[in-house]
């Protein structure tokens, strides 16, 4: 797990830089909080088995993109794309795949912006490209996903239909709230700009 641990340290340093730069130069504070984690070996083995693969180290390195995962939680939906754009500009980050579950939500209502990337990590034997998954979401999307993860995503057995339907309804409400909050925030920022202009 050492390369993945090192990759998470490097990525967290990049995120600190993004936060400091956005605040210093643009007075923006788009990131609410960041959580990083290493996938547990049992979870890696389960995921490989689900994909019909032998739970070996080689298969884990080759086929599992989220052994190292970083979740960036933003206040507003536009912040997600703003932060993603900054990540895309980092020379040391190679974007492998983007899954925009905000533009294209999953059937169950799941929404988040996923970036599968590779970053170079210096080890004793030389440099290694290590896979990291970024998950970017709003506070509201995160609230929904945590509950859904707890009650269904990891559950092998079927859950009652009405719970699935209620979760889907909640996902619609989350989407509506995110867009209303975004709209409000844009209006407030416009007002602040006008106030700043008139006091200058
Ligand atoms: P955990 O416990 O969070 O680590 P792929 O085989 O590449 O097509 P994969 O690897 O599942 O599919 O990729 P994807 O779609 O990027 O999903 C990776 C992670 O996103 C998941 O990791 C979850 O953390 C999260 N995720 C994806 N879909 C859902 C969903 O429907 N609900 C919730 N709550 N989270 C989701 P793990 O390993 O599955 O779980």
Predicted TM-score (pTM) of the model is 0.91
Give the mean model confidence (pLDDT) for residues 175-179: 96
Q: Which residue has the higher pLDDT, 97 or 28?
A: 97
Residue 66 Cα to ligand 1 midpoint, Å, equals 8
Are the C-beta atoms of 121 and 3 separated by less than 8 Å? yes
Q: How far is CA 54 from the centre of its chain?
A: 27
Residue for token pair 């990759």:
7
Ligand 1: residues with CB < 6 A are 39, 43, 47, 65-66, 99, 106, 108, 110, 114, 135, 145, 148-149, 153
Query: What pLDDT, on a 0 to 100 scale, did the predictor assign at position 196?
Result: 63
Query: What pLDDT, on a 0 to 100 scale, did the predictor assign at position 153?
Result: 61
Query: What pLDDT, on a 0 to 100 scale, did the predictor assign at position 104?
Result: 97
Q: Are strands 31-38 and 68-74 parallel, antiparallel or unpaired?
A: antiparallel
pLDDT single digits (tens) 115-167: 999 999 998 888 999 999 999 999 999 999 999 988 876 566 677 888 889 99
Residue 83 Cα to ligand 1 midpoint, Å, equals 20
Torsions phi, psi for 46 (to 5 deg): -65, -40
Give the mean model confidence (pLDDT) for residues 60-82: 95
Selected catalytic residue, list 32, 58, 78, 133: 133
**Res. 36: pLDDT tops 80:** yes
Query: What pLDDT, on a 0 to 100 scale, did the predictor assign at position 195?
Result: 64
Residue 38, CA distances (Å) to 5, 46, 91, 107, 158 in order: 7, 15, 24, 27, 27
Question: Which atom from ligand 1 is nearest to the alpha carbon of 146?
Answer: 34
Query: What pLDDT, on a 0 to 100 scale, did the predictor assign at position 150?
Result: 87
Q: Which residue has the higher pLDDT, 194 or 73?
A: 73
Give the mean model confidence (pLDDT) for residues 94-120: 96
Residue 16 Cα to ligand 1 midpoint, Å, equals 25
Classify 95 as helix, strand or coil: strand
Query: What pLDDT, on a 0 to 100 scale, did the predictor assign at position 40?
Result: 94
Query: What pLDDT, on a 0 to 100 scale, did the predictor assign at position 199?
Result: 57
């Amino acid at each position: 797990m050492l390369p993945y641990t090192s990759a998470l340290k490097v990525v967290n340093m990049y995120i600190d830089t993004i936060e400091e730069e956005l605040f210093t130069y643009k007075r923006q504070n788009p990131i609410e909080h960041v959580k990083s984690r290493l996938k547990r070996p049992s979870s890696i083995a389960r995921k490989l088995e689900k994909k019909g693969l032998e739970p070996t180290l080689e298969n884990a390195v080759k086929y599992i993109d989220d052994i190292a995962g970083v979740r960036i939680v933003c206040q507003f939906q536009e912040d997600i794309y703003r932060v993603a754009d900054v990540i895309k500009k980092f020379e040391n980050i190679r974007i492998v795949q983007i899954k925009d579950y905000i533009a294209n939500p999953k059937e169950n209502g799941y929404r988040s912006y996923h970036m599968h990337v590779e970053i170079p990590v210096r080890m004793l034997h030389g440099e290694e490209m290590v896979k990291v998954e970024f998950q970017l979401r709003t506070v509201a999307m995160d609230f929904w996903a945590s509950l859904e993860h707890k009650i269904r995503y990891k559950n092998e057995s079927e859950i009652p239909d009405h719970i699935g339907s209620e979760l889907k309804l909640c996902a619609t409400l989350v989407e509506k709230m995110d867009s209303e909050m975004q709209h409000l925030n844009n209006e407030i920022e416009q007002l602040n700009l006008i106030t700043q202009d008139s006091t200058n």
